[in-house]
Structure 1
Amino acid sequence: MYVGIAPIKTKNVGKIYLEQMYIQGSKKWILSRISPKCENCNSNKHYDVICTSKLFIIVIPYDKAYKIVCPKCGETIGLDFEEYLLIEPFIKLNKKYEEGKISHQEYEDRITKISDKLKYSKK
């Protein structure tokens, strides 16, 4: 398991007008590090105030790699996910048959249906 940071969330909090940013009754600017006027355009009458937050999330690694392996020699070939999806129905059906959950006739019928679907989807 991995703990990470989600994308930054931005929320518009509101506005602060320039005259509100002086200490009342003086010319002292409350935020000394920030210029009273925008340093880029020098024409603002207010500043927008936004809040950005990073949310911690729990991430479970999901980096699966599918491969086919020769049962005799162990030769391994990596599959693209799309390739895996093409053979996944057969894999699931074979497992059901090997576990005795479906009859031989049902197995044969489903093999035919899956094969027909692939045949017609490739056209």
Structure 2
Amino acid sequence: MIKVDVTSPSPPYEQIRAQLAELIRCGVLNVGTRLPPVRQLAADLGLAVGTVARAYRELERAGYVSGKRGGGTRVLPQPEPQMTRADLIEQHARAYLTEVARLGGSAEEAVEAVQAAAHADPA
């Protein structure tokens, strides 16, 4: 479910946070779903416990999850997004840039690829 690219310029905790946030936004992780315990996910990913704990703290701070000692970390209901068209485009652009970075590419390469695609197939 979660993959961390150690060669990515994005820190591992941010990669975990971004992937879990996207899974929550897309409805793959439903309200009330319990996330894996910090220690388990850290072991599964071969990362330090503190790295996963930071990702979970960031998700909690952003309102995606609620964590209780001994009760686990669970997905919270998300408010209906009041996003503008520009917000949606920016959200997709960020997801694309994250994926390009995961593949080892740069933002410049991502822009070039979008421009090439736009010229090849104007939508």
TM-score (norm 1): 0.24
Q: Which has the higher strand share?
A: 1
Larger Rg: 1
Q: Which has the higher helix share?
A: 2
